[in-house]
Amino acid sequence: MIVANVWFKGFIHLFSAFIGLATGFLACLATVHIPESTQAMIANSPWFYLPQVTFGNWSIDEQSLPAVMMTGLFLALHAFGGLVASQRFNDADWKRPEMNQIQRGIVAEGLTNVVSALLHGVPITSSGGAVTMAAATGCTSRYIALWLGAFSVLLAFMPKVILFWTLLPDVLMGSAMIFLSCFTMMAGLQIITSRLLDNRKIIAIGFGILLGINFESHGTALLASTPTWLQPVLFSSVSIGIFSTLALTMLFRLGSTTRERRTFDASHTSLSVLSDFLEHQGKSWGAARELVQRSIYATWQVFELLTQYELFLDNGEGKETVEVETLSNEFTFSVIIRYPGLSVPLAVTPPSADELIENENAVLQMAGFLIRQLADEVYTEFSFEKERGEHRYAHQVDDDEKLTPKRQQTAELRLVFKL
């Protein structure tokens, strides 16, 4: 399996997992004795058989409702993880989950489970192994998924083939799982490390991983010492890992906010101080690393413009104070900069080479243009003593007269960074 995946290309690489399973299966058939009872069961099973569908005679056990609800939650989260991983594998420039696609996938899985329950079936979830196999082979075409889906439906009516695959020994299945798990773990680590993490998130994620891994060897002892009401959420390594991570995440969010502000003296603030503040906020909220880095460059560029081009107004204290406020959600990171002075000119187009030579304010215009390029959305707002005006895009500055304030004003610059 590994040899076919690493050292071969084309057809052999595409079917590396199947070739590995088939080779191992043939080797096991040649070296491992199959019990006569198993041989007789396979021989007596039909090649084609229609399942007996039962409908009706439903009942609801109230005591099992908590377990059913928790199982549904874990299956939905499992499907979410599988869909995110498939998006990550299928897009080299992946930055964030496509929530519309994930919503459709979870709804489809939920409806499938409803139909399965009405037919007295078992819970069904997406196959993480299938997602990983697609990543290992590099084949993510939906046409192959349609063909494999039709083939799987056909196999459901062939008991002899199903029983034949049950002969796969544990050592062969274990080696296949190890091979596929390499890709699953790396995808998970890449998704986790794409966000800035503080101690709270590190503890929550670390506890979930450690408890999930240790459950396989200590699960029986853990269930024996667990209260009855809590056992429904500890039935597997996946469930205990998800439950512990969710519980710790909700616990650590107590007292945290999505808005933070701090005042700086622009003329005496270094890049490292500003960077530490923004990175601390990004870690607190688990913001994307790329967004925080862009916000640092853009905010520092604003600080340099304010001090070098004297856009500050005298506040009577001899300080060039700037208030920086940060906002964050799942997909955006915003920085709001407030200061007494003129609005930073954020040009939509860069100045020409002749303008850079002839107009001394063209350099300021170029710097403002670069800030617009770093941020996905830029809004400027300013207030006079009793008047307030709002501009979504700043004016281009052409002369000194426009840089001279008429009245005392406070400017606000909002930079929005999106994935």
**CA R_g for the chain:** 30
The mean of the pLDDT values for the chain is 78
Q: Which H or E run includes 215?
A: helix 199-224
CA distances from 404 to 221, 301, 312 (A): 75, 21, 11
Which range is most confident: 160-164, 318-322, 371-375? 371-375
Interatomic CA distance for residues 314 and 269, integer angstroms: 18
What's the confidence (pLDDT) of residue 314? Answer: 60
The predicted model scores a pTM of 0.67
Q: What pLDDT was estimated at residue 299?
A: 92
Q: Is the pLDDT of residue 206 over 80?
A: yes
Query: Residues 293-318: pLDDT tens digits?
Result: 999 999 998 988 888 887 777 655 65
- Per-residue confidence (pLDDT) for residue 335, from 0 to 100: 92
Q: Select the more confidently predicted residue: 209 or 132.
A: 209
- Hey, what domains does the chain have and what are their CATH numbers? 2-52+62-195 (no CATH), 197-256 (no CATH), 259-418 (3.30.565.10)
Tens of pLDDT, residue by residue over 236-263, are 777 788 888 888 888 887 767 667 888 9
Mean pLDDT of 94-119: 84
Fill in the amino acid letter for 3.
V
The pLDDT value recorded for residue 148 is 80
pLDDT of residue 402: 41
**CA-CA distance, 343 to 384, in Å (whole number)?**
12
pLDDT value for 390? 42
Of 294, 293, 284, 289, the C-alpha closest to 262 is: 284
pLDDT for 395 equals 40
Q: 3-class SS at 383?
A: strand
Cβ count within 10 A of residue 127: 11
